[in-house]
Structure formats: structure tokens, C-alpha cells
Amino acid sequence: MHTDFRKDITIRQLCEGFVYNEFDEKGLFGLNGKLVIQPEYQRNYIYGDGKRDVAVIDSLLKGYPLGLIYFNKNGDMYEVLDGQQRITSIGRFVTNKFAVNVNDYPRNFDALDKNVQEDLLNTTLTIYICEGTEKEIKEWFKTINIVGVPLNEQELLNAVYSGPFVNLCREEFSNSQNSNIQTWENYIPGTYKRQDYLKTALDWVSNGNIETYMGTHRNDDNINEIKKYFTSVIDWIDRTFKTVDSSMCGLEWGRLYEEYKRVPYDVNKLDEIINELLADWRINDKKGIYEYVLSGEALEKKPLLNIRLFDKSVIKSVYTKQTKEAQEKGCSNCPMCSAAEGSNKNRIYKENEMDADHATAWSKGGATDISNCVMLCKTHNRSKGNR
Ligand SMILES: [Zn+2]
């Protein structure tokens, strides 16, 4: 691989013929048409948040270094390997797309003093230009130390497996214009900009083997399989659950779909149960509700709900009752101490030296109420383990 270190390219040259596509949220071209700012495998522009884009311009105005930028040379064309977010921010500023504060007033590029404008345009960038085979470039791209926001795993995979399949996938799953996103974001955390929907779609269709799947399908000219599978999962969630709650976001929907897609449900009944459970303050883990009800409220799924510890009033009354009975019998108020031979056989513990325990284990269906509460000394409670 051949590399070239350049310190002579100015912002003026870089921004010549700069095109920003609002529709795709992409900075497209620069260097008078010679530079592709966002090759297909690159991520979407994420600096346009009024902070990171402003910080880029602030740095430039203060004369701070902007960090290394990497171009890949391909014939007489260049494409940005790293630096796309910074270049897009600069291009958008120079074309008056946003303002920065100068002496406490927001100013876009045209409102800057002429000499400040000139200084900015004459600023040179530090650019590494490399030329090599696709494989070399990709390997390098995977290992370069990336300034700013590092590529996440899916963004790297998109780069490594770039091709028609990734392009079509991004058009479907990483596209701000896709109105289905409004539904997806109910169930999948993250954003289209950081490839979170694409990652989830790949995860579901490949049963967790994303990289293998991308490798196998790399040169496909269609995304029928992944799109169909993804839509099936989303439709199943939509049909099965009438109430959309924030606790549904981020569940292992791909797995749940595979496990329960063949089970018929009375969706009205299901909705009723779910809403009851969502309103139950004792349930610590609202996210566990969905698998619990899908399983037909199976006992072995109950721990998913992570029911809260016993109520304070329950603890108080069980402690009082147990202690009174123990004092009458002259034994320990911890039934396990009392049953054992040892120095604590007759010990009366204070309330804060004891913990509430499920007489019938929670995992065996024991309720978290007064009928199933027994107070044990802390040592014995711990020795019974996490039930
Ligand atoms: Zn004990």
C-alpha cells in the first residue's frame, strides 16, 4: 500500500463544489468533484447536532488542530476513509447551514469578518492519502485510530463487507425517510444513524451470526430474506401486543418470536394481563412481563419479573409474631438457629439483624406476601442462597 502525507490542501479547496444532501443527511462531494465525502459504506452524518459540528468550527477559528484525515485514492478520485464528519461540518458551515457564537453573537459564515473568513478558508488540513487494494484499504480502515466518534461495531462491519448488499440494507434500515422507523423505535433501542436497526435485523435473521451472514450475502443484489424476516418479527409484535409500552424496547424479540410465534393468543386477554402487571408496583422488572405472559404465565418464568422484597409492614408483623412465640418457648427467633445445635440456639435477634425470606421459594411459585414470609437471621438467610 502506498501512502502520501499532505499538508497543503486548504479548506477553500476542500469545500469547492461542496454538496450536502439534506434529504439523505450526507455530505457528498468536495475538492471540486474529486472527493467523495461519504462513500456508501460510511456512516450517516451524526455531527449535525449543534454541538459537535459547532465544536469543529470553534476549533478551526481558534487555530486548534483538527486531527488527521484519511483519504483513499482511487484513480484520480479520492474518498474519505476517516474525517467525513469533520469535513461535512466544515462544508455545511462554509455554505451557511449553521452558525457559531463569535463574541457572544451567533454568526454564520457570511456574517464573519472578511479576514476571519479568509483565515478559515486558507487553513490547511493534515491528510493521509493511501492507495492500495480494496482488501488493504479495508484492513487499514479497520485498524486506524479514529478521531472523534469511533465507528461502532456495525459501522465497521458495513465498511468491511461493503457492497451491493450493505447498500440496499442501509437504504432500508438506516434511512431517515423510512416511515417504519416510528414503529421500530418502539421495540429496538438506538437510531438509524448508528445502524442500530440494521444491526438488529441482521442479528435476528442470522440468529446472532451477523458477520457470517454479511460475508455470505455480501454480493447479493437483493435483501428479500432479511427484510421479510425482520418484517415478520415486527408484525408479530404488533399483532400480539395491543399496548405499546417503553418497557418493550430492547427485548430479545428475535428469540421470543422464534419461541412463541406458533402459539395462539387471545390478544385482548393478553393485553389485560400485561396492563395489570405493568401497574403492579411490586414488579421490579417490567421487561420480564412479556416473556412471562407469552409463556402462559409459566411458574419457571416468574423470576423474570423480579418481584420486590416483602413490604415493610409484613416484615414488622412477622418479626413481632415470631419473636413473641420464640420468647414464650425460650428458643431463638430465627427458626434455623433454633433447630440447630449451637451458641445461637436461644438467641433473640433484633429486627435489623434479620432478613425476610420466602418460606416456599419464589422460584417454586411462592408468593411475596405475609403467608409466605419467614424471618431468618442474616447468616441463615444468606446461606439459603439467592432463591
Ligand atoms: Zn439463624
Local confidence pLDDT in tens for the 387 residues of the chain = 788 888 899 999 999 988 887 766 677 788 888 898 877 656 677 788 888 999 999 999 998 888 888 888 888 889 888 888 899 999 999 999 999 998 889 999 999 999 999 999 999 998 988 888 777 776 776 666 454 556 778 887 887 788 899 999 999 999 888 999 999 999 999 999 889 999 999 999 999 999 899 999 999 999 999 999 999 999 999 999 999 999 999 999 999 999 999 999 999 999 999 999 999 877 888 999 999 999 999 888 888 888 767 878 899 999 999 999 999 999 999 999 999 988 999 999 999 999 998 888 877 778 888 899 999 999 998 887 544
Spatial distance between the Cα atoms of 156 and 195, rounded to a whole number of angstroms: 10
Q: Is 284 helix (H, G, I), strand (E, B) or coil?
A: coil
11 in Cβ contact with 122 (< 8 Å): yes
The Cα angle at residue 234 between residues 232 and 239, in degrees rounded to 5: 90
Spatial distance between the Cα atoms of 245 and 287, rounded to a whole number of angstroms: 10
Q: Give me ligand 1 centre to Cα 333, in Å.
A: 8
Place of cell 446461606: 383
Q: Give me ligand 1 centre to Cα 377, in Å.
A: 4
Q: DSSP character for 340?
A: S
The Cα angle at residue 148 between residues 100 and 62, in degrees rounded to 5: 40
Nearest to 302 by CA among 316, 318, 291, 313: 291
Give the pairing of strands 35-36 and 77-82: parallel
Q: Give me ligand 1 centre to Cα 357, in Å.
A: 12
Q: Give the H/E segment covering residue 130.
A: strand 127-131
Q: Give me ligand 1 centre to Cα 331, in Å.
A: 11
Spatial distance between the Cα atoms of 340 and 65, rounded to a whole number of angstroms: 73
Q: Give the H/E segment covering residue 81.
A: strand 77-82
Characterize 77-106 residue by residue with b for buried, 16 or more Cβ atoms within 10 angstroms of its Cβ, and e for exposed.
ebbbbbbbbbbbbbbbbbbebbbbeeeeee
Residue 374 has phi, psi (to 5 degrees) of -135, 135
Full-model pTM: 0.61
Q: Give me ligand 1 centre to Cα 300, in Å.
A: 28
Q: Give me ligand 1 centre to Cα 187, in Å.
A: 46
Q: Give me ligand 1 centre to Cα 336, in Å.
A: 5
Q: Give me ligand 1 centre to Cα 306, in Å.
A: 25
Q: Give me ligand 1 centre to Cα 365, in Å.
A: 24
Q: Give me ligand 1 centre to Cα 304, in Å.
A: 29
Q: Give me ligand 1 centre to Cα 303, in Å.
A: 25
Distances (CA, A) of 273 to 292, 302, 309: 10, 14, 22
Q: Give me ligand 1 centre to Cα 325, in Å.
A: 16
Rg, Å, the chain Cα set = 31
Spatial distance between the Cα atoms of 294 and 278, rounded to a whole number of angstroms: 15
Q: Give me ligand 1 centre to Cα 308, in Å.
A: 23
Q: Give me ligand 1 centre to Cα 337, in Å.
A: 4
Distances (CA, A) of 253 to 51, 198, 210, 268: 34, 14, 16, 20
Q: Give me ligand 1 centre to Cα 346, in Å.
A: 10
Q: Give me ligand 1 centre to Cα 256, in Å.
A: 42
Spatial distance between the Cα atoms of 330 and 344, rounded to a whole number of angstroms: 12
Spatial distance between the Cα atoms of 114 and 129, rounded to a whole number of angstroms: 31
